[in-house]
Amino acid sequence: MSVVIRLNVDDEHAHLLPTGSFDLTHAADIARAVAETERDLRDLDGRRAVILDLSSLERIDGSGAVLVAGLIDRLEARGLRTRCIEAHNPHAVRLIALYRHRTEALGEATRTTGLLDRLGAVAARVPASVTGVLDFVGHSAAAIPGAIVSPGSVDWKSVPRLMQAIGADALPVTSAANLLIGLIVGFLGVSQLGRFGAVVYVPELVVIAQFRELGPLVTAIVVAGRSGAGLASELATMRVSEEIDALHSMGFDPVRWLVVPRCLALILTLPILTWIGDVLALGGGLLATRAITDMTTRAYVLGTADAITGAHFLDGLVKTPFLALAIGLIACGQGLAARGGAAAVGARTTTAVVLAIFGVIVISALFTLFFSLLGI
Amino acid sequence: MQAARPHIVVDDLRIGWGSRVLMEHVTFDVDRGTTLAILGGSGSGKSTLLRYLIGLERPMSGRIHIDGVGEPHRYEGVPLFGVLFQSGALFSSMTLAENLALPLTTWTSIRRPLVRDLVQAKLELVGLGPFADHLPGEISGGMKKRAGIARAMMLEPELLFFDEPSAGLDPISAVELDQLINTLSRDLGITIVIVTHELPSIFLVAHNCIVLDKPAKGIVARGDPRRLRDESDIPFVHNFFTRSSPGASATGKR
């Protein structure tokens, strides 16, 4: 059934006779009929009253009523008198009355933001986010003496659970990653050093590459992706469900209670994961070398044992606590900074993972630069 | 209209998980345009029953017909009812206007300016006209529930389900919400099923009620809440409406 508003103008009245189904399904047709009626009534002067006769309505629901009520509102705003006639449809009259004067705010221009607006807004947020980061780092630094002075203010009991979640549960994936890196370095070494007949140096290459650089870096990247996301989303969810506020209200310092044990668990487990990864990478190098050269296992192992020095070993391990701390601070800081709802948790988690991986790479590079300047 | 046929027919419903039966022999009708309250103490399964009524869970046996249509209670894909969840369940990343527009943009082909008009009218109806561009995180609990009602009404359903609408609201907001529910029932002719344990709400909005009890695994009483309050001789129902503890009335001691 089509939707029309029949119009009949005589000396005293303008009769409007809406006909058809005035419901959500026909909303577009109703809007068109209303606009046509308004156009037809444009020249109507105030001497004639507008009479809305609802007797031919087949059906009306809230959406239809909104549009009809808007029409009446606008006609009255022009100074016309209006009246509803109900033959046998009191429901329709009540429905339209319910939506009268509900659409006044319409037609206002909605806020539009241009490119410059958004650029400005982003730029304006930069100082606040920098001070926020510095504030959090300072707060975390202050939390360490605080934790030592009053050990009860830290959730020590969660440390074993966190070590399990961050360390033990990550072992399969960090091990596999390191094994494969050892394999890759081994294949690269054989193909490149083999050109000079120097396959015998492949064990040393694997040791130096893995112990000094790749072991800590690859392990930290995997942990940053895995635990960074886990910690950030955990703390962000706690923040948006007011658990952090609850800690505050009970007199706890959330940084001390939550961030210290998490960073501690990372600092304790990342070196262990790195050690295990180093050993597996040596195995990967051995596999690669054995697969494509005729070097014996014994020769490879002896070459490896010669290559491992305290300096190589320590150079790599010295970094790992710093990498762990960076992952922990970034993930926890992002988590605690979440505001709003589910969307904020997702956004903060993404930022945490991106920043943690990037931070790990930057710190690793700084250490390498530092060591090479010192000639270690 | 088919006033003679009940709007909702629930016939011999049995619900539970695995071998654990939570409720059985649940049978009731809701007439078009009336308001039914599902009552019961905490843990009696009111909200669980609601989850079955709105099709979130499958019953072990029995049927639920809405408008004569069985599960999944949709007409050409469009749900036949609106639901207000306990927390409002607004999408936190969208403004109120976007939350309300979502059902329209999903299920209808109405163009954007008209959607905006319809959304604004609904927001005005629930008294949230000036808050269209606010995020759910920026408004109060009562406002979230009213926005949730407006969203539930966007597709002009003839049936609305409310899960504890006045839980967690101050008495004045709760009364305002009850008045809004009354308006929907009276002026829009909407059939309403409301889960609640707030006595003032029950008497203000409900034409009928069913009372659930956990030990009885089902409905222990049904009818006009006022009559149940004054005339029921079932101890649990009597205690529920007079807010007395079971120990006091069962033994009469202390």
Interface of A with B in 56-95 (CB under 8 A): 61-63, 66-67, 69-70, 91, 94-95
Q: Does A242 touch chain B (CB under 8 A)?
A: no
pLDDT at position A107 over 50: no
Contacts of A104 in chain B (CB under 8 A): 124
Percentage of residues in chain B having pLDDT higher than 90 = 2
Mean pLDDT of A143-160: 85
Are the C-beta atoms of A170 and A223 separated by less than 8 Å? Answer: yes
pLDDT at residue B129, rounded to an integer: 85
Mean pLDDT of A209-229: 94
B interface with A, Cβ–Cβ < 8 A, is 91-93, 108-111, 114, 116-118, 120-122, 124-125, 129-130, 132-133, 135-137, 153, 155-156, 183, 186-189
Q: Long-range contacts: A186-195, Cβ < 8 Å, 24+?
A: A186/A284, A186/A285, A186/A286, A186/A287, A186/A288, A186/A289, A187/A288, A187/A292, A189/A285, A189/A288, A189/A289, A190/A288, A190/A289, A190/A292, A190/A293, A194/A293
* Type of residue at B95: T
Interface of A with B in 99-118 (CB under 8 A): 99, 101-106, 110-111
Q: Are residues A275 and A131 in the same domain?
A: yes
Mean pLDDT of A301-316: 88
The end-to-end CA distance of chain A, in Å, is: 87
Q: How far apart are CA A194 and CA B191, in angstroms?
A: 83
pLDDT at residue A104, rounded to an integer: 54
pLDDT at residue B63, rounded to an integer: 86
Average pLDDT, whole number, for chain B? Answer: 82
Least confident of A192-196, A257-261, B70-74, B97-101: B70-74
Q: Are residues A284 and A366 in the same domain?
A: yes
In a domain, A109, yes or no: no
Question: Higher model confidence: residue A375 or residue A182?
Answer: A182
Mean pLDDT of A256-273: 93
Asked if the Cβ–Cβ distance from A95 to B187 is below 8 Å, we say yes
Least confident of A69-73, A243-247, B205-209: A243-247
Q: How far apart are CA A176 and CA A191, in angstroms?
A: 23
Least confident of A189-203, A257-271, B60-74: B60-74
pLDDT at residue B138, rounded to an integer: 83
Give the model's confidence band at A105: pLDDT under 50 very low, under 70 low, under 90 confident, else very high: very low
Average pLDDT, whole number, for chain A? Answer: 87
The closest alpha carbon to B122, from B143, B158, B97, B159, belongs to: B97
- Cα→Cα distances A302→A200, A210, A343, Å: 10, 17, 55
Q: Among A38, A60, A66, which would you mutate to test the B interface (most chain B Cβ atoms within 10 Å of its Cβ)?
A: A66
Q: For chain A, how many structural domains are there in total?
A: 2
CATH number of the structural domain spanning residue A94: 3.30.750.24
pLDDT at position B249 over 50: no
pLDDT at residue B246, rounded to an integer: 58
Q: Among B75, B91, B119, B120, which would you mutate to test the A interface (most chain A Cβ atoms within 10 Å of its Cβ)?
A: B120
pLDDT at position B247 over 70: no
- The minimal CB distance from B120 to the residues A98, A101, A105 is found for A105
Q: Are residues A132 and A93 in the same domain?
A: no
Q: How far apart are CA A164 and CA A171, in angstroms?
A: 10
Q: Are residues A297 and A356 in the same domain?
A: yes
Q: Does A305 touch chain B (CB under 8 A)?
A: no
Mean pLDDT of A317-329: 94
Q: Are residues A304 and A352 in the same domain?
A: yes
* Per-domain residue ranges of chain B: 1-81+158-254, 90-156
pLDDT at position A263 over 90: yes
pLDDT at residue A108, rounded to an integer: 44
Question: Would the CA dihedral through A30, B112, B97, A74 be positive or negative?
Answer: negative
Q: Are residues A88 and A129 in the same domain?
A: no
Q: Are residues A242 and A310 in the same domain?
A: yes
- Of the residues A66, A98, A130, which one is the last residue of a structural domain? A98
* Type of residue at B235: P
In a domain, A108, yes or no: no
Asked if the Cβ–Cβ distance from B130 to A105 is below 8 Å, we say yes
Q: Which residues of B21-30 are buried (b: 16+ CB within 10 A; e: fewer)?
A: ebbeebebeb
Pairing mode of beta strands B35-39, B208-213: parallel
What's the pTM?
0.66
pLDDT at residue A76, rounded to an integer: 85
Asked if the Cβ–Cβ distance from B120 to A24 is below 8 Å, we say no
- Render pLDDT for A47-89 as a digit per residue (tens, 0 to 9): 778 888 888 888 888 888 888 888 888 888 888 888 888 767 7
- Render pLDDT for B227-239 as a digit per residue (tens, 0 to 9): 888 887 788 887 7
pLDDT at residue A169, rounded to an integer: 94
Q: How far apart are CA B183 and CA A78, in angstroms?
A: 29
Name beta bridge partners: B64: B10
Q: Long-range contacts: A194-197, Cβ < 8 Å, 24+?
A: A194/A293
pLDDT at residue B254, rounded to an integer: 37
pLDDT at residue A277, rounded to an integer: 94
pLDDT at position A111 over 60: no
Are the C-beta atoms of B100 and B129 separated by less than 8 Å? Answer: no
pLDDT at residue B252, rounded to an integer: 39
Q: Does A28 touch chain B (CB under 8 A)?
A: yes
* Type of residue at A157: K
Q: Are residues A137 and A176 in the same domain?
A: yes
For residue B33, give the chain A residue with the closest CA: A91
In a domain, A64, yes or no: yes
Q: How far apart are CA B241 and CA B92, in angstroms?
A: 37
Contacts of B122 in chain A (CB under 8 A): 62, 66
pLDDT at position A240 over 70: yes
pLDDT at residue A329, rounded to an integer: 94
**Torsion-angle region of residue A153: left (phi > 0), alpha (psi -120 to 50) or beta?**
alpha
In a domain, A105, yes or no: no
Mean pLDDT of A348-355: 94
Give the model's confidence band at B82: pLDDT under 50 very low, under 70 low, under 90 confident, else very high: confident
pLDDT at position A266 over 90: yes
Contacts of A63 in chain B (CB under 8 A): 118, 156
Give the model's confidence band at A284: pLDDT under 50 very low, under 70 low, under 90 confident, else very high: very high
Asked if the Cβ–Cβ distance from B120 to A98 is below 8 Å, we say no
For residue B117, give the chain A residue with the closest CA: A106
Contacts of A241 in chain B (CB under 8 A): none
Give the model's confidence band at A224: pLDDT under 50 very low, under 70 low, under 90 confident, else very high: very high
Asked if the Cβ–Cβ distance from B129 to A105 is below 8 Å, we say yes
Map tokens 């406002």 to a residue.
B143
Query: Counting one residue from A and one from B, how many pairs have CB atoms under 8 Å apart?
Result: 81
- The minimal CB distance from A106 to the residues B120, B125, B189 is found for B120
- Of the residues A98, A130, A150, which one is the last residue of a structural domain? A98
**Fold type of domain B1-81+158-254:** Rossmann fold (3.40.50)
pLDDT at residue A341, rounded to an integer: 77
Q: Does A25 touch chain B (CB under 8 A)?
A: yes
Contacts of A94 in chain B (CB under 8 A): 186-187
Are the C-beta atoms of A238 and A190 separated by less than 8 Å? Answer: no
Name beta bridge partners: B66: B8, B69
> Nearest CA to CA, how far is B117 from chain A (Å)?
6
Q: How far apart are CA A272 and CA A280, in angstroms?
A: 13
> Nearest CA to CA, how far is B110 from chain A (Å)?
6
Mean pLDDT of B174-199: 86
pLDDT at position B75 over 80: no
Q: Are residues A27 and A146 in the same domain?
A: no
- Of the residues A65, A83, A98, which one is the last residue of a structural domain? A98
Q: Are residues A89 and A164 in the same domain?
A: no
For residue B122, give the chain A residue with the closest CA: A102
Mean pLDDT of B67-76: 75
Asked if the Cβ–Cβ distance from B108 to A25 is below 8 Å, we say yes
Q: Does A22 touch chain B (CB under 8 A)?
A: no
pLDDT at position B1 over 50: no
- The minimal CB distance from B118 to the residues A25, A66, A340 is found for A66
Question: How buried is residue A77: exposed, middle or buried, by Cβ count under 10 Å (0-12/13-18/19+)?
Answer: exposed
Q: Which two tokens stand for residue A184?
A: 């890759």
Are the C-beta atoms of A22 and A3 separated by less than 8 Å? Answer: yes
Question: Higher model confidence: residue A53 or residue B77?
Answer: A53
pLDDT at position B62 over 60: yes
pLDDT at residue B4, rounded to an integer: 64
In a domain, A106, yes or no: no
pLDDT at residue A109, rounded to an integer: 44
Asked if the Cβ–Cβ distance from A24 to B92 is below 8 Å, we say no
Q: How far apart are CA B189 and CA A61, in angstroms?
A: 10
**DSSP labels for chain B?**
--TTS-SEEEEEEEEEETTEEEEEEEEEEE-TT-EEEEE--TTSSHHHHHHHHTTSS--SEEEEEETTB-TT-EETTEESSEEE-TT----TTS-HHHHHHHHHHHH----HHHHHHHHHHHHHHTT-GGGTT--GGGS-HHHHHHHHHHHHTTT--SEEEEESTTTT--HHHHHHHHHHHHHHHHHS--EEEEE---HHHHHHH-SEEEEEETTTTEEEEEE-HHHHHHH---HHHHHHHHT--HHHHHH---
Domain extent for A74: 4-98
Q: What ipTM was assigned to the predicted interfaces of this complex?
A: 0.72
The values of phi and psi at residue B128, to 5°, are -120, 25
